[in-house]
Structure 1
Amino acid sequence: MYHSGIWDKERAINEIRVYKTYDQIAFITQRAIDQLLRMYCRLILSWAGNKRMSVITMQRKQMLL
């Protein structure tokens, strides 16, 4: 928020919080996000496969595969 100019320096510092840790570490990469999106899109498209698909939907399906 500070870097995008929404908050000034004082507000950004006031928003810093310390939370109890739960010993959980997550490594999230753009590659992992892209793979999940592809998986969900394929699932949706396979569900929609039983229905009549428009030309745009077919083009999107080809891009995902």
Structure 2
Amino acid sequence: MNTITHSFAEWRADESGVTAIEYALMGSLIAVAILGAVGATGASLLTLYTNVSVAVATAL
């Protein structure tokens, strides 16, 4: 019985899984921020390239 109690206490004291979860959360937040930035930049780049395309087509 003492071995089971000792094993359970070691399992509860182990924080390596907590660190992995924290890194996963930080990585997912960074990914969401990158996707948001790319989405916002992509829309403005589309407008820019459209304007350039129209200007080039008009000049020809």
**Fold match (TM-score > 0.5):** no
Q: Which structure has the larger Rg?
A: 2
TM-score by length of 2: 0.38
TM-score by length of 1: 0.35
Tell me which protein shows more helix as a share of its residues. 2
Using CA pairs below 8 Å that are at least 6 residues apart, which structure has the higher relative contact order? 1
